[in-house]
C-alpha cells in the first residue's frame, strides 16, 4: 500500500534526515520525492510504500507526528487512495 507524506514547515538543517531515519526504523520504502522551498517554507511530498512496515499505519502516523514536533515542522502521512479518489478518474 502506498501513502503520501507531506512535510511543511520553516526550513532548517536535518528535516530530510529526520524523516528518512524515521522511515528506515519503520521499514518504509521511499518511492518518490518532490521538494521545494517556497518563501523560506520547506515543502516536501513523498510517495512511500508501507507494505512492509514493521508498525501499523496508525502507529506510523504517531511516530511521524512526534518526529515533526521534534523538527518543528508538520509531517503528515495519508493513504494515497484519498488523493487518487479526488484527482484521478
Partner 1 sequence: MLNQHEIIETLNMIDNQHLDIRTITMGISLRNCGHPDAKIAATKMYDKITKYAENLVKTGEEIEKEMGIPIINKRISVTPMAIAAESSETEDYTIFAKAMDNAAKECGVNFIGGFSALVQKGFTIGDRRLINSIPSALAQTDFVCSSVNVGSTKAGINMDAVKLMGNIIKDTAEKTKENDGLGCAKLVVFCNAVEDNPFMAGAFHGVGEPECAINVGVSGPGVVYNALKGVKGAPFDVVAETVKKTAFKITRMGQLIAREASSRLNAEFGIVDLSLAPTPAVGDSVARILEEMGLETCGTHGTTAALALLNDAVKKGGVMASSSVGGLSGAFIPVSEDEGMIEAVHKGVLALDKLEAMTCVCSVGLDMIAVPGDTTAETISAIIADEAAIGMINQKTTAVRIIPALNKKVGDEIEMGGLLGTAPVMPVHKESSYDFIMRGGRIPAPLNSLKN
Contact 7, 43 (CB under 8 A): yes
Minimum Å gap between C-beta 16 and partner 1 is 16
φ and ψ at residue 38, rounded to 5 degrees: -110, 110
Minimum Å gap between C-beta 49 and partner 1 is 12
Angle, alpha carbons 24-44-57 (nearest 5°): 45
> By C-beta, is 39 or 87 nearer to partner 1?
87
d(CA 78, CA 86): 13
- Of 22-61, which residues contact partner 1 (CB under 8 A)? 31-32, 34, 36, 43, 45, 47, 57-58, 61
Which residues of the chain form contacts with partner 1 (CB under 8 A)? 4, 6, 31-32, 34, 36, 43, 45, 47, 57-58, 61, 76-87
Amino acid at each position: 500500500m502506498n501513502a503520501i507524506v507531506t512535510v511543511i514547515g520553516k526550513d532548517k538543517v536535518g528535516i530530510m534526515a529526520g524523516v528518512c531515519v524515521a522511515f528506515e526504523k519503520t521499514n518504509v520504502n521511499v518511492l518518490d520525492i518532490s521538494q521545494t522551498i517556497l518563501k523560506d517554507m520547506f515543502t516536501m511530498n513523498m510517495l512511500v510504500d508501507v507494505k512492509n512496515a514493521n508498525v501499523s499505519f496508525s502507529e506510523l502516523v504517531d511516530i511521524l507526528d512526534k518526529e515533526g514536533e521534534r523538527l518543528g515542522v508538520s509531517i503528515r502521512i495519508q493513504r494515497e487512495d484519498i488523493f487518487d479518489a479526488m484527482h484521478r478518474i
